[in-house]
C-alpha cells in the first residue's frame, strides 16, 4: 500500500473517531442536563412538601387590633425557631394590605407552640402554633383575607369576616 493512501486512511480514521467522540460528548452532556433538571425538580417538590402549613382557624372581632391564627404544620419536617420567625403574615382587606414580620411591637406577629409534646421548641409535623398578629389600627367590620407564608414560600390562606 502506498504511503500516501495509508496516511489518508489514518487521517480519516482519526477524524471519524474525533467526530464520534464529539457527538457522544454532546449526547452525554444533554443527558446529564436532563437528569440534573429532573433532580432539581424533585428536590424542589420535596422542599415544598417538607415544609407546609395550614391555617386551621382565625379569629378576631371588629375594633380589635389582634388577630389570632391557629396554624398546623402539615409538612413532613419540623421548623426551628429561626425558620418560624422567617414566616410572614399578610392581611388583605379594608382597602389595604398589611404585611407583618415577626416581632414584638405593633404591626408584627408572634407565636406560641401549643402542643410541643417533645418539648424541643421546634414546630414539628402535626403540631400547631397560635399566631398573634398585632395591628397598629383596629380592624373595621368587613371581610379579610389572611395569608401565612413560610420561609420557603409555602403558604396557607384563610378568609376572615369580622
Partner 1 sequence: MSSLGGLIVFAALTAAGLALMGYMVMAMATHNQLFVERIELMEEIGERCRGYLEIESMAKLQDNRTIEAVIKNVGAGSISIKDFDEIDLIMIYRNSGGSVRAEWLPYDPSGDLEKGWRVLNVTYHGVDELKNPMAADLSSGFWDDGESLAIRAWIGEDQDIADEFMLIMVAPNGVRTR
Q: Does 14 bind partner 1 (CB under 8 A)?
A: yes
Would you state the cell numbers that stand for residue 15, as one nine-digit string? 477524524
The yes or no reply on residue 56 touching partner 1 (CB under 8 A) is: yes
| Region 96-135 residues binding partner 1, contact defined as CB under 8 A | 114-115, 117, 126-128, 130
Return the residue of 26, 46, 143, 159 that touches partner 1, per CB under 8 A: 46
How many whole angstroms separate alpha carbon 69 and alpha carbon 89? 10
Among residues 9 and 120, whose Cβ is nearest to partner 1? 9
* Residue number with CB closer to partner 1 (2 or 96): 2
Contact at 8 Å (CB) between 78 and 56? no
143 binds partner 1 (CB under 8 A): no
Cβ distance 67 to 60 under 8 Å?
Answer: yes
Rounded to an integer, what distance in angstroms lies between the CA atom of residue 13 and that of residue 35? 33
Amino acid at each position: 500500500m502506498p504511503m500516501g493512501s495509508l496516511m489518508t486512511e489514518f487521517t480519516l480514521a482519526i477524524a471519524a473517531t474525533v467526530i464520534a467522540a464529539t457527538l457522544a460528548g454532546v449526547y452525554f452532556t444533554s443527558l446529564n442536563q436532563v437528569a440534573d433538571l429532573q433532580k432539581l425538580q424533585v428536590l424542589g417538590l420535596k422542599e415544598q412538601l417538607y415544609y407546609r402549613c395550614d391555617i386551621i382557624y382565625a379569629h378576631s372581632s371588629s375594633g380589635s387590633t389582634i388577630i389570632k391564627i391557629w396554624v398546623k404544620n402539615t409538612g413532613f419536617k419540623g421548623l426551628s425557631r429561626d425558620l418560624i420567625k422567617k414566616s410572614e403574615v399578610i392581611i388583605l382587606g379594608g382597602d389595604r394590605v398589611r404585611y407583618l414580620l415577626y416581632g414584638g411591637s405593633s404591626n408584627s406577629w408572634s407565636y406560641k407552640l401549643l402542643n410541643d409534646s417533645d418539648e424541643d421548641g421546634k414546630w414539628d409535623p402535626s403540631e400547631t402554633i397560635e399566631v398573634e398578629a398585632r395591628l397598629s389600627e383596629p380592624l373595621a367590620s368587613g371581610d379579610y383575607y389572611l395569608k401565612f407564608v413560610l420561609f420557603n414560600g409555602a403558604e396557607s390562606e384563610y378568609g376572615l369576616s369580622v
